[in-house]
Each structure stands twice: as structure tokens, then as C-alpha cells.
Amino acid sequence: MTLSRRKFVHLLSIATTACTALITPAISWAAWVNDAFNANETEEAYKKLFGSTSLKKTKKVKLKVPKVPNNNNAVPISVKTDIQNVDSISLFVENNPQPLVAIFEIPDGTLPKISTRIRIYQTTTVTAVVKTGEQLFSKSQRVTITDGQCGG
């Protein structure tokens, strides 16, 4: 089967249009999240990421982070919750140069539990925010960084 020049150009234009349509939402989402990651204040990061700064503190969010970590360059942190229909779990470190540290999208049917390591520059408050639909639930903990710790 031979492919005429006209048919080839037609197929190429359809493929280009389809790719553009699929990539555009990803690019706009990346720009929106980029604004939140580049925010210098915690409240500003909340507003840019969620469109709101009203967080509901709850005991249903379990935040585990050492109160005095051994190494502030790799502080272990885990978050889990039994709240239903979790969309995402985000981590904020108040006194870091950019407070938004991570966003974890939670697919439907997945256990809302994450573990990672983060860098903490100085004594601060770490906050985990669990997003479900339009609601924001949070749990915070104070973390003390001492002079004897590895840091940078």
C-alpha cells in the first residue's frame, strides 16, 4: 500500500493536533504547580496550590517525623490517613526557602500512605496536608535542628 503525500500530510496534522491536545493540560498543570513550589511563604504556597489557606487540623492524619533528626539533609517522614477519597498528600516545611517540599497524587483505590526523606534547613514546623475533593486536612509537628547536625 502506498501512501500519497496528501494522505501523509493529513495524518501528520491529525497526529500533531492530538499530541498538542494531550500535552497542553500537562503544561498548564506544571506551571500552576511551579508557582506553588516557588512560593516563599507557607500561606502563599497553600493559596497557590489549593486556592485556599483554610486547613482543618485532624487526628485522622498521622504524621511521623523525628522531633530532633540525626541528619537534617535526609529527615525521614511518613504520612498516612484513614480519610476516604484522598486526592493528594502534600508536605510543607515552614522555614525552608521554599516551603512546599512535595506533592504526592493518590490514585483512586490506593492506600493514602507515603514515606520519603526531606531536607530541613532550620528548626521549624512540618505540615502534612491531605486533600479530599474541596477539603484540606492537616497535621503539623515541630522539628528541632541542632548545631551539631550535618547541614548545609
* 26 or 69: which leads in pLDDT: 69
Place of cell 526531606: 118
Q: Is residue 43 domain-resident?
A: yes
Going by C-alpha positions, the residue among 37, 50, 31, 34 that lies closest to residue 98 is: 37
Query: CATH code at 85?
Result: 2.60.40.2470
Please count the residues of the chain: 152
Which pLDDT band holds residue 73 (cuts at 50, 70, 90)?
Answer: very high
- What confidence score (pLDDT) does residue 146 get? 87
In a domain, 33, yes or no: no
Task: Count how many Cα atoms sit within 13 Å of the Cα of residue 96 in the half-sphere of its side chain.
Answer: 24
Its domain, for residue 108, covers: 38-143
* pLDDT at residue 56, rounded to an integer: 96
Provide the pLDDT confidence category of residue 123 given band limits of 50, 70 and 90.
very high
The pLDDT tens digits of the residues spanning 20-49 come to 555 555 444 455 578 888 999 999 999 999
Report yes or no on 12 lying in a domain: no
Helices assigned H by DSSP within the chain: 5-37, 42-50
- Could you give the CA distance from residue 113 to residue 35 in angstroms, rounded to a whole number? 25
In angstroms, rounded to a whole number, what is the distance separating the alpha carbons of residues 79 and 131? 13
Identify the pLDDT of residue 148: 56
How many structural domains is the chain composed of?
1
Instruction: Give the residue from 46, 85, 83, 69 showing the smallest Cα distance to 117.
Output: 69
Q: Residue 58 corresponds to which cell in the numbers above?
A: 485532624
Q: Does residue 114 belong to any structural domain of this protein?
A: yes
Q: How many helices (H) and strands (E) does the chain have?
A: 2, 8
Per-residue pLDDT reduced to its tens digit, 132-142: 998 999 999 99
At 113 the pLDDT is 95
| Domain-embedded: residue 105 | yes
**Does residue 126 form part of some domain?**
yes
pLDDT at 93 over 50: yes
Which residues lie below 8 Å from residue 128, measured CB to CB, with a gap of 6+? 61, 63, 77, 79, 89, 90, 91, 92, 138, 139, 140
Confidence (pLDDT) at 104? 94
* Residue 149 in domain: no
